[in-house]
């Protein structure tokens, strides 16, 4: 009888062990499914974030290009205005313009020597 009780206890233990193994396998499968679903959603969010960042970068680059073009145009306009002003000054006072050029040349030469 002791052997029979031991056999029953062993069978019961094996059944319980099999049930625990089954539960662990089911739990592992559910965790795996949950992780796959989570990683899929995280991947979607990462792609959305990347697309948004890319749009922001493209907008910033476009804005910088627009500002650069505006600055270049302003510099070009200023240079044209300065050129016209110098032309007018030279035409109105040619001797003064030559004297100013000689004076600036002399100052640059003296500064360059030092």
Checking if the pLDDT of 70 tops 80, the result is yes
Q: Which of 78, 98, 80, 76 is nearest to 89 (CA)?
A: 98
Q: Say which residue, 74 or 114, is predicted with more confidence.
A: 74
pLDDT digits (tens, 9 = 90+) for 10-23: 788 788 888 888 88
What's the distance, CA 12 to chain centroid?
Answer: 62
pLDDT digits (tens, 9 = 90+) for 100-114: 889 989 999 988 887
- pTM reported for the whole predicted model: 0.45
* pLDDT classification of 2: cutoffs 50, 70, 90: low
- Rounded to an integer, the average pLDDT of 27-54 is 81
CA distance 23 to 16: 10
Supply φ then ψ for residue 93, to 5 degrees.
Answer: -135, 75
pLDDT digits (tens, 9 = 90+) for 38-49: 777 777 887 888
């Amino acid at each position: 009888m002791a052997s029979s009780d031991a056999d029953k206890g062993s069978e019961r233990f094996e059944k319980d062990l099999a049930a625990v193994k089954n539960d662990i396998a089911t739990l592992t499968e559910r965790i795996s499914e949950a992780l796959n679903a989570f990683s899929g959603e995280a991947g979607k969010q990462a792609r959305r974030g990347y697309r948004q960042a890319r749009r922001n970068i493209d907008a910033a680059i476009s804005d910088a290009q627009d500002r650069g073009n505006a600055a270049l145009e302003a510099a070009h306009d200023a240079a044209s205005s300065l050129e016209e002003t110098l032309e007018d000054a030279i035409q109105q006072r040619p001797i003064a313009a030559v004297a100013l050029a000689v004076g600036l040349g002399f100052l640059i030469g003296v500064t360059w020597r030092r």
